[in-house]
Structure 1
Amino acid sequence: MTPEAPPPTTPIRAHPLAVAARIVMLALVAVLVLLTTQELDQLWWVALLIVAGLPAVIAPRHPVLAPLGRFAEVIIVGIGASQVAEHAAGNALGQGIGALALLPYLSVPLTVTALRRRSRESAALLVTATLALVVGGAISSTGGEPLIGKLGYLVVSAQWLILASLGTLAASTLQRIMQQRGEAGRPQPYAEATRLLTQLRSVARQLPGATLDPGGISEHLLEELRGVARAERAAVLSASGGGRLVVLAQAGVDRVDWETSLDADSAIAEAWASQQPYTANRSQARSHRRGDVSALVVPLVAGVRTVGLVIIEADAAGAYPPAVVQEVTGLTGPAALRLEAALLFDEVRSLATNEERQRLAREIHDGVAQELVMVGYGIDNALATLPDEAKETAEELRTLRGEVTRVITELRLSLFELRSEVDRHGGLAAAISEYARTVGASGGLRVHVTLDDTTARLPAATEAELLRIAQEAITNARKHAGATNLWVSCSIDPPYAQIEVSDDGQGIADQRPDGRYGLAIMAERAERIRGRLEISPRSPSGTTVAVVVGTSPRRDSVRDSVTASEGE
């Protein structure tokens, strides 16, 4: 059996800056040789250096070629320096100056070795360079005043060896410091995440009310602002992605359809971009109010990041002089940091939850779902090969096959539920509608969907929880109610939302324990987003599950008027 050849490896090339530095040094040495000797044939030493430096360019990390190339370079410099000094123009003292032509090149191999943290090789290179310079000086012949010539050569050589040693030491020290700083500054993702999340948990427990709820923080801020400034209408908005804002909380007797686009020509966009308070003499709603209106938009800036906006409006001109603006900004500064912490906490929790749901979906799909499919195929094969006289066995296998098919269908619906998310462009109502129609069709239910949606969006965490509540209610109706009709209504008017799921089944009194467990899960989800879960019987039969988040001044006023008319 012939062993497999190892996969080809991609050669590691030298860094472009290192190649450029080597070229510049070679050019400098060539110029110095010409200036000191004025003989073109002495450039062959530069050519030898080019050949010796090729391994450093072609294979800088090769365990044999790269070190050999560096040793060849220092030997060429040591021997060549004495020969160039011998041909130097001028008197014998010029021979010492001529040695300067090649000696600067010693810094190249020594610095490369030091940066690669090869201390033993650096010491060996220094010893080799010293021996090469001594041998070169011994074999060179000098005319005129040999003593002066050799003395100048030796002095210059010793100076450059000392400089090379100091440069090597400095490069090695610098490399070590950079490595230590890199290791100290390089985050260890899981350890760092654990530390930060642990701190976040501790801080969250110490906060007032032990909560990190963006909606609650926003409502508290609006209450404080209405205590220092006149505000017939007010709202807190935050970014949701896609250049749009979501309403976290609002206050006032009238329903306001706030401008939520950051691309529009509005005070909202100006305040967001400039991170400065912005006043205007018109409403920041899409349907502008007539008459005198004063609007104040204050960005919520935490550090250098804008995390949201506060809008307050009064039905009067000049309602927000500089003194009022200063009082408002004094309250929004600390609130911005609290809101940023709450939004980050929501984002981390949402990412972790979505990742876990996707992981569970993958495991179910690749594990038990595939195994059940194989069990079904096995039953089909057994039925196909069963003798005709084994009727009772065949009937039992068909019953078992039907049960396996039912379980596979349930698993597929569970996978669909795990993978369902609120699309950024479609919105919550579209996601609930798609889920209701898909699950209803699989369960033989007639699905009736009513949507009352707006272009404004709820916070992502709120939309995710509302979707899960609606999914649980629809699943309960399909599995436990024995219903034939399913009514789903979505009314979304941020920060208000109401999701209602009704069926004409047997009601909640006779539901199985797992159905009651689903109701408990829905109640926990509603409490998490500060919502109200209402479960009531439907006349003449069935159950209605409704979840309400926030308040809507428009709906409250309609409800109050209806109640008043009924009382009359």
Structure 2
Amino acid sequence: MLPSPVAARPRTRPHGPPRPHPLAVAARLVVLALVAVLTLITTHEVEQLRWIGLLAVAGIPAVLAPRHVLLGPLGRFAEVIIVGLAAGKVAAEAQIQGTLGSGLGAEAMLPYLAVPLTVATLYRHTREALALLGVAAATLTFGGAVTEVNDERLITDGGYLLASAQWLILAAVGITAAGTLQRVLQARGESRPPQPYAEATRLLTQLRSVARQLPGATLDPGGIAEHLLDELRTITRADRAAVLTASGGGRLVVLAQTGVDRVDWETTLDADSAIADAWASQQPQTAHRSQARSHRKGDVSALVVPLVAGVRTVGLVTLEADVTNAYTSSVVDRVTAVTRPAALRLEAALLFDEVRSLATNEERQRLAREIHDGVAQELVMVGYGIDNALALLPDEAKESGEELRSLRAEVTRVITELRLSLFELRSEVDRHGGLAAAISEYARQVGGSAGLRVHYTLDESTARLPAATEAELLRIAQEAITNARKHAGASNLWVTCAVDPPYAQIEVSDDGQGIADQRPDGRYGLAIMAERAERIRGRLEIRPRHPSGTTVAVVLGSSPRRDSVRDSVNAPEGELAQHDHQPHATDHPYQGPPRR
């Protein structure tokens, strides 16, 4: 078994010794200058400043190589020993000069003890700091024992012992404080968020693991919303109900809804409605009027429950009943008991949908760049080469010239196809323009390049579908238009876009040769459209168009209002009264890629 690349990679070390920290150097210089001034004031002897020079020399290794396994500790131990010996000598000199007592004389040097002990603790060398504290106590004791003042040992002077004990205690407190500071800094470093790419890698790895463990249906926002509505209708009355979530334009989109009639729900968050209040307050809201834009007359009870995951509102559940006081406090409690766990499932599905859309869009843009900078440029150069060959061809080589001109025409056709493919890859649904605008723009561009007359029928409400659903519908429409342009041999193209969330119908018809001789790449395109439609729980319908041509349609959801009008027109006279308002079922459901 080969070793893991990560495990086998050698640990890199910084080149050269680590640079001294400017703050540490500045702190040493300040304390050293303070001790020098105190020594001069205490003894009035310039010769006593030799101890300051010794401290400066001893501190050089600790400053230049503070983390070195040998030089750093040696320098700090040398500093402690020099301070312990110098404290006794300075105290004795002060007592001889009669300027100060031995205790205050010793305190001129003792403040420097804090420097090596604190540095060792901050470098996480707690044992070294404790050892330095012990060496300092032993050195002060030894210095007091060997130093005589007026034929008496300095260690017998109570002032010297008291000053030494006080500064040793302060040094011990400094070790504790430095250790606490070091742990606080370490905790802050651990709690600091990792670098963006590292965090993204961690989250995407977790997402991949979750996506592999969960079945596909559990990561579908529309399926989760429909299941939630079905569950709520078993515990309370709801003549109309919907699940809404936020879209990119600061509006709400309908994920799913139930009811006999279609409801134009209020989707703005700045309106005076229970929907806006529930979103802002994250608390259930009841109202005595419908939450539709065209408010219903009569007795209406409305309940809007926010779907809150953590501290974030991910959606709303709106329930309406055509009676008064339908949603009492007990009903609200039962509803919230169901919506609370559903909010987390919906948030996971929405996040997964967003990540998938971002990844898909990024990949499409990358492919577009690769094609533009690679194959497209090379084909253009091939075309220029053929043009040069034709220009240099002698007049007598007419037969070869015809072959070159045919080859040049084929290269031009391929370049045109590539440009249309680039346009398709870069096409997206603008959050302000809408799905109909994106489809019509693509049809206009493609139809103009292929010489097709394009006829539009656009019927898009102000409400929007979820962004991922709009993207899939756009790709289905693009594939249908591309199939008609490439294989149908048509002169006219009819594009219909009807969006009435959560219902949508995209229909592309042509007057070409029909579905007789379907090429393999066309069958593959139809299979891709079927997969896309299934992903958004839509129905792909492919049927002949009379007198000639083919119609490709994708239908998402159902619209009782539209079905009622359509069935009323198509039903024979005498059967209109028996219309049951059920969704219209097509006679030509998609059952695999047909032969065009």
The normalised TM-score by structure 1 is 0.80
Instruction: Give the structure 2 partner of residue 91 of structure 1.
Output: 101
Q: Which position in structure 1 is the counterpart of 2:578? A: none
Tell me the equivalent position of 1:203.
214
**Match for 1:496 among 479, 503, 514?**
503
Once the two structures are overlaid, the 10-residue window that deviates more, 260-269 or 170-179, is 170-179
1:401 and 2:408 aligned? yes
Find out whether 1:103 has 2:113 as its counterpart: yes
Name which of structure 1's ranges 100-109 and 405-414 shifts more when overlaid on structure 2: 100-109
The residue number in structure 1 matching 2:12 is none
**Equivalent residue, structure 2, for 1:359:** 366
Does the 8 Å contact 2:87/2:107 carry over to 1? no
SS in 1 for 2:345: helix
**Residue of structure 2 aligned with 1:427, choices 427, 430, 434:** 434
What one-letter code is carried by the residue in structure 2 that aligns with 1:92?
S
AA in 2 matched with 1:244: R
Question: Match of 1:102, SS?
Answer: helix
CA distance in 1 between partners of 2:372 and 2:258 (Å)? 46
Structure 1 residues 14 and 262: alpha-carbon distance in aligned structure 2, compared to 1, 3 A threshold: farther
Q: Which residue is 2:585 aligned to?
A: none
Matches within 5 A, 1:499-518: 499-518=506-525
- Structure 1 match to 2:322: 315
Pair 1:418–1:154, CA change in 2 (3 A): same
- Give 1:504-543 correspondences, 5 Å limit: 504-543=511-550
Looking at structure 2, the residues matched to 557 and 319 of structure 1 have their Cα atoms a distance apart, in angstroms, of 29
Q: Deviations over 1:486-536 (max 9, x none)?
A: 111111010000101111111122232211221111111111111111111
Task: For 1:272, give the aligned amino acid.
Answer: W
Q: CA deviation at 1:197?
A: 1.6
Output the CA distance in 2 between the equivalents of 1:318 and 1:46. 91
Q: Does the alignment pair 1:241 with 2:252?
A: no
Instruction: State the Cα distance separating 1:48 from its structure 2 match.
Output: 8.6
The answer to which of 228-237 and 540-549 deviates more is: 228-237
Q: State the match for 2:563 in structure 1.
A: 556
**Is the CA contact 1:435–1:471 (under 8 Å) kept in the aligned structure 2?**
yes
CA offset digits 1:65-116 (Å, max 9, x no partner): x989x8798799678756764648532233334433333233454355x16x
- Which position in structure 1 is the counterpart of 2:394? 387
Gaps spanning 5+ residues in structure 2: where? 1-17, 576-596
Matches within 5 A, 1:334-353: 334-353=341-360
Whole-angstrom distance in 1 between the partners of 2:322 and 2:226: 21
Secondary structure at 1:362's aligned position in 2? helix
The Cα of 1:229 is off from its aligned counterpart by: 2.1
- Asked if the contact 1:103–1:160 (Cα under 8 Å) also holds between the matched residues in 2, the reply is no
RMSD (Å) for aligned C-alpha atoms? 4.8
Secondary structure class of the residue paired with 1:421: coil
Aligned residue in 2 for 1:194: 205
- d(CA) in 2 for partners of 1:515 and 1:338? 38
What secondary structure does 2:234 align onto? helix
Q: Does 1:487 align with 2:494?
A: yes
Q: Is 1:293 aligned with 2:308?
A: no
Identity score, percent:
64
Distance 1:145 1:245, change over 3 A: farther
Range with greater deviation from structure 2 (382-391 or 76-85): 76-85
In 1, Cα distance between equivalents of 2:484 and 2:82:
89
Separation in structure 2 between the aligned mates of residue 52 and residue 267 of structure 1, nearest angstrom: 77
Alpha-carbon shift at residue 483 of structure 1 (Å): 1.0
Amino acid in the other structure paired with 2:551? T
Relative to structure 1, the CA distance from residue 30 to residue 95 in structure 2 (aligned partners, 3 Å threshold; closer, same or farther) is closer
Q: Which runs of 5+ in 1 are unaligned?
A: 1-10
User: What TM-score do you get using the length of structure 2 for normalisation?
Assistant: 0.76
- Contact 2:107-2:163 at 8 Å conserved across structures: no
Q: Could you tell me whether the CA contact under 8 Å between 2:383 and 2:408 is conserved in 1?
A: yes
Contact in 2 for aligned 1:250/1:495 (Cα 8 Å): yes
Structure 1 pair 201/125, CA: closer, same or farther in 2 (3 Å)? same
Bigger mean CA deviation after superposition, 262-271 or 71-80: 71-80
- What's the counterpart of residue 286 of structure 2? 279
1:375 to partner: Cα distance:
1.6
Shift of 1:295: 1.0
Checking the alignment, whether the CA contact within 8 Å between 2:141 and 2:155 is kept in structure 1 is no
Identify the range of structure 1 (156-165 vs 286-295) with the bigger mean alpha-carbon deviation: 156-165
Amino acid at match of 2:296: R
Worse-matched range after superposition: 375-384 or 240-249? 375-384
Given residue 443 of structure 1, which amino acid in structure 2 is its aligned partner?
A
Cα separation, partners in 2 of 1:184 and 1:427, compared to 1, 3 Å: closer
Indicate the residue corresponding to 1:459 in structure 2. 466
The 1:167/1:316 distance shift into structure 2, 3 A limit, reads: closer
8 Å Cα contact 2:39-2:49 kept in structure 1: no
- The change in CA–CA distance for 1:79 and 1:448 in structure 2 (over 3 A counts) is farther
2:552 to 545, 554, 557: 545
